[in-house]
């Protein structure tokens, strides 16, 4: 397969035009060749935005592909196969996967495809029950600490934008993308520069993958948390649950970034947990039309352009203020998972057709802030969430103020043309008072820098809703090169909760990597 890159076309041109241009550059006709869009991005840096295509061309003659790959802007792409090796040892019991987020889901899927028939433990309910609990909470009902935006089938990423962007550059990303497509993800995730599934479409994909795991002999036990580990001689012997012990020699800890009780259980068991960098701040909400105008200028609203997205950062001393998980046309969601705490996050549906854009605006904290103590880092998150809960009036309303109010330290919320989307209501608050002074100061400086980079970022109508504390896990569970715990043989820390991923794609890739490691050690069950 040939990749013809940097085909730059005006907004008035179509994908067919991009395919024709790719064949023209190769000097070949359409007969016998297939040309498909491999990537599409927008270059809005100068003047009218341009659509920038990469086109994948397949020819029946492999030797001709090799010759044409020498042309400027053309390269030969060979899809990387999924590499699997099988060990010699036999497992006496089926492997156990704890957590059905992206890491656990893809780990269990690969194990199931290789005949391992994994047992999957998920502390929350299946998607239907989980969605009902989330909807009830957003409508003003009680918080279910095991069924919410953090816990349940699909993990925290289920109630997000379904973003698949990542910087890890692993060949396993192709396997994850192909699998998502096989299970009903929108076809454009194969070529979008910033692919997203959308929380509405992602739910069906997750159900479908779980269905494949079950058809292949895997078993998913919902509402079944991991409560302990049985270790003998430094080796795993069983997983402890409220329904009894499950004998196993291989257990995957894909528990997600909010499984604080699991982190505490592991610490009591003797695991060495390390604090890792994460970030805290709030959700910034703007009119999507203002973001589009800032990015696309006079071309804003053109049907060929995607909803405007941004990614901003500003370094201040040893810290970084940056935007994270930007949700075009989305909404701010109530993401609490513990009673007495307020947590915000953002999500978008596939259409991204909401009036507002939102993104986390956060500042980095690191192990140096907590003396390397992971549980101190967790306690810091929890304390901020409790402050936000109190500032919101103790009803899961969120503290909020306009961007300009925050910059001035006023603590006021005078809405001007933007209707905030956080579902439990807002209460005016000086958000800076909820954070350590150094962090609040850094966030103010960062917002001023963002205005210089993206005009209108501090517009009068822009609203900040707090607090955002679950950007990533504050904990890393040390593991060896083979992904096995350094403390207990047979335990495999995995994914974002264990500190080895950040986002849907990288978590799924880490799940595949851990499954590969287990398969390389064991022949069968």
> Residues 118-143: what's their mean pLDDT?
97
Just give the CATH number of 89-273+477-524: 3.50.50.60
Q: What DSSP line would sit under 325-379, residue for residue? A: EEETT-EEEE---STT---EEEE--TT---SEEEEEEEEEE-GGGGTTBHHHHHH
Mean pLDDT of the chain, nearest integer? 95
- Write down the pLDDT at residue 81: 84
pLDDT tens track for 266-300: 999 999 999 999 999 999 999 999 999 999 999 99
pLDDT at 163 > cutoff 90: no
Percent of the chain residues past pLDDT 90, beyond the cut: 92
- Write down the pLDDT at residue 70: 94
pLDDT tens track for 466-480: 999 999 999 999 999
- Write down the pLDDT at residue 524: 80
- Write down the pLDDT at residue 45: 86
Annotate 12-33 with b (16+ C-beta within 10 A) or e (fewer): ebebeebbbbbbebbebeeeeb
pLDDT at 113 > cutoff 90: yes
The answer to whether the 2-76 and 89-273+477-524 domains have the same CATH topology is no
What distance in Å separates the CA atoms of residue 95 and residue 116, rounded to the nearest whole number?
7
Percent of the chain residues past pLDDT 70, beyond the cut: 100
- Write down the pLDDT at residue 30: 84
Question: Which CATH number, 3.30.70.2700, 2.60.40.1180, 2.30.30.280, 3.40.50.1860, labels domain 2-76?
Answer: 3.30.70.2700
What distance in Å separates the CA atoms of residue 368 and residue 248, rounded to the nearest whole number?
37
- Write down the pLDDT at residue 161: 80
pTM: predicted TM-score of the whole model, two decimal places: 0.94
pLDDT tens track for 201-228: 999 999 999 999 999 999 999 999 999 9
Q: CB–CB of 57/33 below 8 Å? A: yes
> Residues 221-238: what's their mean pLDDT?
97
Beta strands in 209-330 (DSSP E): 219-222, 228-232, 235-241, 244-247, 251-253, 274-275, 278-287, 313-316, 319-327
What distance in Å separates the CA atoms of residue 44 and residue 213, rounded to the nearest whole number?
43
- Write down the pLDDT at residue 13: 95
Which of 316, 237, 458, 328 has its CA nearest to residue 42? 328
Residue 5, Cβ density class (10 Å: 0-12 exposed, 13-18 middle, ≥19 buried): middle
**Domain ranges, ordered by start, for the chain:** 2-76, 89-273+477-524, 275-468
pLDDT band at 137 (very low <50, low <70, confident <90, very high): very high
Lowest model confidence (mean pLDDT) among 77-81, 309-313, 347-351, 376-380: 77-81
- Write down the pLDDT at residue 436: 98
- Write down the pLDDT at residue 192: 86
What distance in Å separates the CA atoms of residue 36 and residue 16, rounded to the nearest whole number?
9
> Residues 12-23: what's their mean pLDDT?
95
pLDDT at 493 > cutoff 90: yes
pLDDT at 47 > cutoff 90: no
> Residues 379-395: what's their mean pLDDT?
98
> Residues 435-462: what's their mean pLDDT?
97
- Residue bearing tokens 């800076």: 432
pLDDT band at 494 (very low <50, low <70, confident <90, very high): very high
pLDDT at 167 > cutoff 80: no
- Write down the pLDDT at residue 525: 82
pLDDT tens track for 342-371: 999 999 999 999 999 999 999 999 999 999
> Residues 103-113: what's their mean pLDDT?
98
- Write down the pLDDT at residue 169: 81
- Write down the pLDDT at residue 463: 98
Q: What does the block give as tokens for 191?
A: 């070529």
> Residues 151-168: what's their mean pLDDT?
88
């Amino acid at each position: 397969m040939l990749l013809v890159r940097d085909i730059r076309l005006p907004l008035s041109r179509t994908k067919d035009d991009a395919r024709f241009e790719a064949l023209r550059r190769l000097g070949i006709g359409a007969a016998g060749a297939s040309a498909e869009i491999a990537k599409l991005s927008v270059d809005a840096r100068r003047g009218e935005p341009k659509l920038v295509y990469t086109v994948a061309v397949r020819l029946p003659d492999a030797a001709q592909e090799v010759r044409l790959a020498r042309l400027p802007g053309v390269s030969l792409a060979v899809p990387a196969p999924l590499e699997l090796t099988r060990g010699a040892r036999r497992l006496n019991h089926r492997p156990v996967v704890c957590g059905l987020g992206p890491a656990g889901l893809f780990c269990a899927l690969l194990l199931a495809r290789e005949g391992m028939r994994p047992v999957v433990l998920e502390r929350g309910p299946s998607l239907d029950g989980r969605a009902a609990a989330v909807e009830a909470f957003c409508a003003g009902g009680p918080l279910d600490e095991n069924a919410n935006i953090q816990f349940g089938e699909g993990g925290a990423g289920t109630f997000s934008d379904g973003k698949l962007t990542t910087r890890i550059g692993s060949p396993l990303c192709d396997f994850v993308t192909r699998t998502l497509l096989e299970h009903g993800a929108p076809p454009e995730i194969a070529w979008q520069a910033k692919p997203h599934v959308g929380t509405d479409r992602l739910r069906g994909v997750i159900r479908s993958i779980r269905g494949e795991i079950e058809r292949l002999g895997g078993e998913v036990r919902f509402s079944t948390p991991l409560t302990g580990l049985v270790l003998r001689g430094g080796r795993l012997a069983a997983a402890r649950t409220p329904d009894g012990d499950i004998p196993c020699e291989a257990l995957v800890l894909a528990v997600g970034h909010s499984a604080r009780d699991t982190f505490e259980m592991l610490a009591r068991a003797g695991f060495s947990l390390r604090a890792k960098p994460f970030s805290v701040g709030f959700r910034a909400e703007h009119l999507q039309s203002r973001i589009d105008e800032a990015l696309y200028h006079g071309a804003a609203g053109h049907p060929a352009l995607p909803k405007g997205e941004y990614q901003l950062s500003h370094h201040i001393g040893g810290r970084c203020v940056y935007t994270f998980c930007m949700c075009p046309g989305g909404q701010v969601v109530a993401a609490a998972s513990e009673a007495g705490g307020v947590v915000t996050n953002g999500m978008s549906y596939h259409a991204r057709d909401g009036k507002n854009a939102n993104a986390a605006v956060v500042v980095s904290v690191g192990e140096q802030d907590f003396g390397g103590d992971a549980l101190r880092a967790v306690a810091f998150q929890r304390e901020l969430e409790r402050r936000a809960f109190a500032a919101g009036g103790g009803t899961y309303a969120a503290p909020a103020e306009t961007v300009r109010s925050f910059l001035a330290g006023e603590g006021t919320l005078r809405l001007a043309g933007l209707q905030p989307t956080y579902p439990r209501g807002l209460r005016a608050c000086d958000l800076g008072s909820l954070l350590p002074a150094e962090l609040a100061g850094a966030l103010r400086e960062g917002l001023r820098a963002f205005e210089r980079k993206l005009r209108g970022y501090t517009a009068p109508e822009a609203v900040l809703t707090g607090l955002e504390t679950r950007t990533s896990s504050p904990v890393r569970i040390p593991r060896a090169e083979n992904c096995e715990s350094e403390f207990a043989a047979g335990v495999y820390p995995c994914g974002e909760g264990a500190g080895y991923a950040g986002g849907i794609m990288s978590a799924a890739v880490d799940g595949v990597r851990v499954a590969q490691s287990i398969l390389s050690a064991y022949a069968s069950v």
